[in-house]
C-alpha cells in the first residue's frame, strides 16, 4: 500500500494525503453481513453527553465482524479484501466450504484466494486463528481474547501486533503494542500476523472538513470556557486556568491514574505500558 499526495491546488490539498487502497480487491459489501447503526452523538440513553466533541459525520453501514473465529474444522477461502468505514484496518470476506460467509480483520499480506482456518489442528500461518498455547513463541498475533470464547478484545488497530514471549503452565505472556506485558490463559484465541493498513498513522487530514466527515466536532479548550462550563474556565484576561489540567468533571488530565484499581485483570499485568509523553515505562 502507499499514500497518495495531491498537487497543492488549495490550502486543504496542500497538507493532505490519502490512502491509495492498493491492497483492496472488492468494493461491493456483503449485504447479508451488514446492518444500519444509529448515531448517538456521544450521548447516553438519558441524552446527556458522555463523550465530548462527537456528532455528525458521513453515514456508515456496519459490517458484522467475526471476532471469535470459532468455526473450527472448516477451511475458508479469502474472497475479497475490503475497506471498512468503522475501523482503520481492512477487512476480509471469507467463503467457507460449507457455504457460510464471514468478515474478519484482514492481516497484512493476506491475498484473495488464500485458504485460512481456525482451530487446534491448524498450522500457524497468516490469517489462521489458534489457541495461544498452540502458537509458537515469538510470532506476531492480533485480535486476542482476554477470556476464552469471549471474542478478540486486544490488538485490533491498523498496523498493530502483539508478540508471545513466554509460556508457563496455563498462562502465556505477551507484549502488547503499548509496551504492556501481561499474562493470558492459554485457552484464549488469537489470529496470526500483523494487522493491515500500517500507513494509516501517516495520513494527514489537511483540513477541518475531513475531521467533520469522520464525526469529530471542534475541540474547545477548557480555559477558553466560562467557569460554569469547565473548572479551568474564567479569569481576568488570558489566564492559564489557575490549576492543573483536568476534565470538566475535575479528573486530572496529566499524571492522574484513571484505571479502576479493582479491575480483576490488573493482577495479570507484569509490566505497565510505555508513557508516550516521556518515553518511559509507567510503573
Pair 33, 157 in one domain = yes
Pair 187, 276 in one domain = no
> Residues 256-277: pLDDT tens digits?
787 888 988 899 999 988 765 5
The range of the structural domain enclosing residue 171 comes to 17-38+59-200
Pair 194, 246 in one domain = no
**CATH classification at residue 114:** 2.30.30.30
Asked if residue 3 is part of any domain, the answer here is no
Mean pLDDT of the chain: 92
> Residues 110-153: pLDDT tens digits?
999 999 999 988 999 999 999 999 999 999 999 999 999 999 99
Q: What are phi and psi of 212, to 5 degrees?
A: -70, -30
Pair 118, 71 in one domain = yes
Pair 182, 248 in one domain = no
**CATH classification at residue 249:** 4.10.950.10
Asked if residue 271 is part of any domain, the answer here is yes
Question: How many domains, the chain?
Answer: 2
pLDDT at 255: 83
Pair 224, 130 in one domain = no
What is this structure's pTM? 0.90
Pair 179, 228 in one domain = no
Pair 107, 246 in one domain = no
Instruction: Print pLDDT tens along the chain (283 aa).
Output: 689 998 999 998 998 999 999 999 877 899 999 999 999 999 999 999 999 999 999 999 999 999 999 999 899 999 999 999 999 999 999 999 999 999 999 999 999 999 999 998 899 999 999 999 999 999 999 999 999 999 999 999 999 999 999 999 999 999 999 999 999 999 999 999 999 999 999 999 999 999 999 999 999 999 999 999 999 999 999 999 999 999 999 988 888 787 888 988 899 999 988 765 555 555 4
Amino acid at each position: 500500500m502507499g499514500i497518495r499526495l495531491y498537487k497543492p491546488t488549495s490550502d486543504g490539498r496542500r497538507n493532505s494525503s490519502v490512502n491509495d487502497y492498493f491492497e483492496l480487491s472488492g468494493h461491493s459489501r456483503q449485504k447479508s453481513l451488514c446492518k444500519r447503526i444509529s448515531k448517538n452523538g456521544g450521548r447516553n440513553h438519558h441524552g446527556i453527553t458522555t463523550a465530548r466533541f462527537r456528532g455528525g459525520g458521513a453515514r456508515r453501514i456496519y459490517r458484522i465482524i467475526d471476532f471469535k473465529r470459532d468455526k473450527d474444522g472448516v477451511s475458508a477461502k479469502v474472497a475479497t479484501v475490503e475497506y471498512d468505514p468503522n475501523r482503520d484496518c481492512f477487512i476480509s470476506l471469507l467463503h467457507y466450504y460449507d457455504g457460510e460467509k464471514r468478515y474478519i480483520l484482514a492481516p497484512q499480506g493476506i491475498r484473495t484466494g488464500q485458504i485460512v482456518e481456525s482451530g487446534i489442528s491448524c498450522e500457524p500461518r497468516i490469517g489462521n486463528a489458534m489457541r495461544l498455547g498452540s502458537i509458537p513463541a515469538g510470532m506476531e498475533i492480533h485480535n486476542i481474547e482476554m477470556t476464552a470464547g469471549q471474542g478478540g478484545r486486544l490488538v485490533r488497530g491498523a498496523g498493530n501486533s502483539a508478540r508471545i514471549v513466554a509460556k508457563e503452565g496455563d498462562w502465556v505472556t505477551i507484549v502488547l503494542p503499548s509496551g504492556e506485558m501481561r499474562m493470558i490463559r492459554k485457552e484464549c484465541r488469537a489470529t496470526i500476523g500483523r494487522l493491515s493498513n500500517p500507513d494509516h498513522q501517516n495520513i494527514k487530514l489537511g483540513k477541518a472538513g475531513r475531521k467533520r466527515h469522520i464525526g469529530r466536532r471542534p475541540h474547545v479548550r477548557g480555559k477558553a470556557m466560562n467557569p460554569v462550563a469547565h473548572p479551568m474556565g474564567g479569569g481576568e484576561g488570558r489566564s492559564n486556568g489557575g490549576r492543573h489540567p483536568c476534565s470538566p468533571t475535575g479528573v486530572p488530565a496529566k499524571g492522574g491514574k484513571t484505571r479502576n484499581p479493582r479491575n480483576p485483570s490488573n493482577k495479570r499485568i507484569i509490566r505497565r505500558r510505555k508513557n508516550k509523553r516521556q518515553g518511559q515505562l509507567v510503573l
